[in-house]
Amino acid sequence: MARKKKKKKYRLFWFFVWMQFLLMILVVGGVAYYYYGGYGKQIADMKDEAVQFVRSSNENTFRSSQTSVVFDKNGEKITTLKGEKDVYYLDYEQMPVDVGAAIVSIEDKKFYQHKGIDYKAIIRAIKAMIENGEVTQGGSTITQQLSRTVFLNQDKTWERKVEEMFIATELEKKYNKNQILEFYINNIYFGNGYYGIQAASIGYFNKEVSQLDLSQIAFLCAIPNNPTLYDPLTNIENTLGRRDRILKNMYEDGKISESAMYLAKAEEIELKRPETEKNNYVETYTYYCAIRLLMEQDGFTFRTEFNSKEDKEAYQKNYSNMYEQCQKRLYTAGYRIYTSMDLEAQTQLQQAIDDKLKDFTEVNEEGVYKLQGAGVCIDNETGYVCAIVGGRSQDFDGYTLNRAYQSYRQPGSAIKPLIVYTPILERGYTPDSIVVDQAIEDGPSNADGVYSGEMTLRTALAKSKNSVAWQLFEEVTPKVGLSYLKAMNFSKLAVEDERLTSSLGGLTNGASPVEMAAAYATLENDGDYRMPTCIVKITDAQGNVVVSTTQEAEKIYKTTAARMVTNMMQTVIQEGTGRGLGVSNMPSAGKTGTTNDNKDGWFAGYTPYYTASIWVGFDMPEKLPGLTGSSYPGEIWHTFMENRHQGLAPVEFLPYVQADTYEKELDLQRETQEQGEDSPESPDNGDGDVLQENSSPGDGELQDG
């Protein structure tokens, strides 16, 4: 019986050999057909391309997919970016000898003998398949596998296979065997996002490969042949089985002793993956800012206004393409990304939002809390974002919507200081100017339903009088009022927003918490706008600066007007709609915002140290009884800012000039303008449609106070 099985086994073997021989003849015939059938030039072009690929390559070509690392403001690591590849590159001399021996024994026994292509490898693979009952060796050499991993894709076409062979031949001419093996081991995929033996070692054993023993090394080297089949997390028995075959091969190749083989096979493998803490909202905002910074460095010009629908569509296409390219670079170029993120402030902001909304436990179909909150904090000294929270804490795999910069909601009366009161203060008004709170035909009603007649501008803002804001906005004109938002890069403005309802926050698409925080920080900064970002600099793995930010300020509001509105918003907190929300023993300024039917609540404000904006509402707008700017958003703001200012010495806001001095300043500005110099009048960036991206639904209704 045994003799019959053996005879049958060898008969099967020779059948495969003859079949392979026949296939080789067919391949040769096919190549001849393609060549004489007009494909000769195509093949020649592929060879030329292969030569060019290798000729232009250097050692850095094989290091180009290294893990990028993100650091906080103190230089502490926040996270690593695991995109397509997670690579920690090792030179050949840094690798344990067993790594190379294991890879060669299982993947390409003739590696040190062939010139890039092993014509006997296919037959050897078939023989191994018969002996082991499965495919245990591949037909491609290590050099061929490296060729397609680095220079080509994984498409299984004859064109790719031919070019792969050309590249492999050229690589063998340019690099020595140890270099090729080094490149290969650092670029192959070990499953679960790990590229390279070092990344795999850290990912599966939480230690560097130099600390692994023989059994662990063979275990890792079992994975690349089929990262799904030999995935240690889901198919560890398969991984162990292939580990044992690798150890057997190493023994047969004279690389290890028999006793070492048996000891390694007997060893129990225990995975120890490193604990990772995901900073969901910090990470997504960091990646967003970094990618846009790289886009800008590559010459991309960001726009918010367009001449036509076709113009906008073309821009969006270019934006998406460039964003994707820079995103891939960010994840694979081995960058070191230094941010302004303060993880203590981040924890404080997240905790304030979570605690205040903890009683709202209803979730949607996806299990996400229906009532949400978001917040942003900017360090006024630097202008950088130091904390950003895009939603309530929940345990989810992957990243969730970051409402702090990806959602746009109507801001309610929180918009008034930005497009009504500060602009009107630039035009001769003062906090003591008298205005009339009165009913307006076809105009808005006040939130309290009361019209109080004559009052100061300060009181009108403190009580958030809608009728006054409407009249003042009409005087400023919607076009001019919105031009301030355009100058501060509010990205969702539409031509339809040039209407009086915008004075109450009735924007078509709304604003994001990041945009609101940056605008309020502009008021605190004497009217000078700084683009919100958390990226301080990006370097390569060697520490060379790739790109850095300087936070250059752009004058948006006149200094006197900014200081006046700051003083007026102190009154909002002392005796107006934000009463009692100020920071203890610290001058505070801020404004509430509530939309119709209590669908959105906002509070935005600042001290001399920090600016923060808070939004609370539903992702799909719906009424929440009791939601006002001074309720949940204001209380979150107060709690967070109280914690953030612990131990900080009180600092007063800079004073503004009195009315008579202000009039002299205006006369001087008019005189300067008449002399032909730049006017300090309000910024105007023109008209046009606005790019819509990542917008959350708005309710499109009139806003109240």
Each residue's pLDDT tens digit, 256-294 = 999 999 999 999 999 998 766 567 899 999 999 999 999
Average pLDDT estimate for 516-525: 98
Residue 578 has pLDDT above 60, yes or no: yes
- At 477-509, the pLDDT tens digits run 999 999 999 999 999 999 999 999 999 999 999
Q: What is the pTM of this model?
A: 0.70
Q: Which amino acid is present at 415?
A: I
- Separation CA 515–CA 425 (nearest Å): 22
What is the rounded CA–CA span in Å between residue 169 and residue 158?
A: 17
Q: How far is CA 336 from CA 71, 87, 493, 517, in A?
A: 8, 14, 35, 27
Q: Is the pLDDT of residue 391 over 80?
A: yes
What average pLDDT does this structure show over 582-605? 95
Share of the chain above pLDDT 90, in %: 59
Split at pLDDT 50, 70, 90, the class of 541 is confident
Higher pLDDT, 549 or 17: 549
The HSE-up count of residue 501 (CA atoms within 13 Å, CB side) is 15
pLDDT digits (tens, 9 = 90+) for 393-410: 998 766 789 999 999 999
Cα separation of the two ends of the chain: 94
Over residues 538-548, the mean pLDDT reads: 91
Question: Which pLDDT score, from 0 to 100, does residue 589 have?
Answer: 98
Determine the average pLDDT of the residues in 15-28.
63
So what's the pLDDT on residue 490? Answer: 96
Q: Which range in 127-141, 143-157, 315-329, 434-448 is most confidently predicted, on average pLDDT?
A: 434-448
- Alpha-carbon distances, residue 377 vs 126, 176, 374, 603, 658 (angstroms): 63, 54, 11, 12, 31
As beta bridge partners, residue 591 has: 604
The predicted pLDDT at position 688 comes to 30
Which has more pLDDT, 190 or 161? 190
Q: CA quadruple 677, 682, 687, 692: dihedral positive or negative?
A: positive
Q: Where are the alpha helices (DSSP H) in 505-631?
A: 513-524, 559-575
- DSSP of 614-657: EEEEESS----TT--TTTHHHHHHHHHHHHHTTTPPP-PPPP--
pLDDT greater at residue 660 or residue 592: 592
Q: What is the mean pLDDT of residues 441-470?
A: 94
Residue predicted with more confidence, 136 or 248: 248
Residue scoring higher pLDDT (140 or 124): 140
Q: Is 214 in contact with 98 (CB distance < 8 Å)?
A: yes
Mean pLDDT of the chain, nearest integer: 85
610 against 37, higher pLDDT = 610
> What structural domains and CATH numbers belong to the chain?
352-704 (3.40.710.10)
At residue 695, the pLDDT reads 34
Q: How far is CA 313 from CA 308, 364, 689, 691, 697, in A?
A: 9, 33, 11, 9, 21
Categorize the per-residue pLDDT at 697 as very low, low, confident or very high, splitting at 50, 70 and 90: very low
- Residue pair 379/340 in contact (Cβ under 8 Å)? The answer is yes
pLDDT bracket for residue 325 (50, 70, 90): confident
The winner for highest mean pLDDT among 153-162, 312-321, 460-469 is 460-469
Q: Name the band, by pLDDT with cuts 50, 70 and 90, for residue 673.
A: low
Neighbours of 152 (CB within 10 A): 16
**In the predicted model, is pLDDT for residue 174 greater than 90?**
no
Q: Find how far residue 503's CA is from the centre of its chain.
A: 33
595 in helix, strand or coil?
strand
Pair 164, 147: CB distance under 8 Å: yes
Backbone angles phi and psi of 281, in degrees to 5: -75, -35
Q: Per-residue pLDDT tens for 87-137?
A: 688 999 999 999 999 999 998 888 888 887 877 765 665 565 555 554 444
